[in-house]
Amino acid sequence: MLRVLAVDDEVHALSELAYLLRRDDRVEEVLTASDGVAALQDMVAMIGAGERLDCVFLDIRMPGLDGLDLARLIGAFPSPPRLVFVTAHDDRAVQAFELEAVDYLLKPLRPDRVAEAVRRVESATYGAQAAEAPMDDVIPVELSGRTSFVPQHAVAYAEASGDYVRLHTAEGTHLVRMSLAALERRWAASGFIRVHRSTLVSARHVTEMRFDDGRMVLRVGATTLPVSRRHARRVRDQLVRQFRPAPPSLPPAAGPEDGPGRP
């Protein structure tokens, strides 16, 4: 699911855009900013905190730092979010797509066009992640002067531990000096899901999902892990989507040679 930032200096327009985005089941969270400077500050803070941002829905004509200038600054980020421009004017479309915008929405906004923009963002985001995902990553772990290499597929879940992350495998645990947010970005395309602010789980190791006293919990090996209310909906949707069985294939249509009179 997508985490997006909506930016517009007009209060009514920003409210309408945020409403249309929040009603879309593919959008997990909608953040808002009322001008380009505030949006830039918010994004810098998110990067510093290791938070994910998938897309910015950006008004073009704003006082001070306008949408196109902000988009150029965003393009210099290490992992820039996707861009969707939102404007009442159609004379900036060429410039918008030169900045690799995913879509260009004209005001007044139509719900179907906003939904199409979300579809394009989702396709661009997860399609790219799947294409760039490594077959299997390896984390080097230093212990008593020795270096061990922990393969990604062996990690069932990871927990934040101060400035470190503790990797849990069937053979034991390993402490690595990195943030959980950095590990999430590194392994998100390989099926690792944030289930709590301090826990990242490998979907392939989840054997059970249930609710205890209204709270979601996951079974990973012999361990039961709680899922925070904030992450519950996304975790459920991602697990259901990942493990939904493929529809049965239809038998080939019978040709003339397959008729009942043929041996």
Span 107-119, mean pLDDT? Answer: 93
Closest of 38, 33, 45, 46 to residue 7, by C-alpha: 33
Residue 72 and residue 14 in one domain: yes
pLDDT by residue (tens digit) across 164-191? 899 999 989 999 888 898 888 888 878 8
Please, which pLDDT band fits residue 130 given cuts at 50, 70 and 90? very low
Residue 118 belongs to domain spanning: 2-125
130 assigned to some structural domain: no
Residue 153: DSSP 8-state: G
Distance between CA atoms of residues 57 and 76, nearest Å: 17
In the beta sheet, which residues pair with residue 59? Answer: 86
133 assigned to some structural domain: no
* Interior/surface letters 89-128, b for 16+ CB within 10 angstroms, e for the rest: eeebeeebeebebbbbbeeebeeeebeebbebbbebbeee
Residue 86 and residue 167 in one domain: no
Distance between CA atoms of residues 263 and 261, nearest Å: 7
In this structure, what CATH number is given to the domain that contains residue 112?
3.40.50.2300
pLDDT surpasses 50 at 260: no
pLDDT by residue (tens digit) across 21-30? 999 989 999 9
* Alpha-carbon distances, residue 255 vs 73, 228, 263 (angstroms): 60, 55, 14
252 assigned to some structural domain: no
215 assigned to some structural domain: yes
211 assigned to some structural domain: yes
Residue 94 and residue 161 in one domain: no
Between strands 138-143 and 146-151, the pairing is antiparallel
Distance between CA atoms of residues 15 and 7, nearest Å: 10
* End-of-domain residue from the set 125, 159, 187: 125
226: buried, middle or exposed (CB in 10 Å: 19+, 13-18, 0-12)? middle
Share of the chain above pLDDT 70, in %: 84
Distance between CA atoms of residues 189 and 82, nearest Å: 16
Span 65-89, mean pLDDT? Answer: 88
Residue 102 and residue 163 in one domain: no
- pLDDT for 19 equals 97
Residue 145 and residue 57 in one domain: no
In the beta sheet, which residues pair with residue 194? Answer: 200
257 assigned to some structural domain: no
Distance between CA atoms of residues 61 and 72, nearest Å: 14
256 assigned to some structural domain: no
In this structure, what CATH number is given to the domain that contains residue 173?
2.40.50.1020
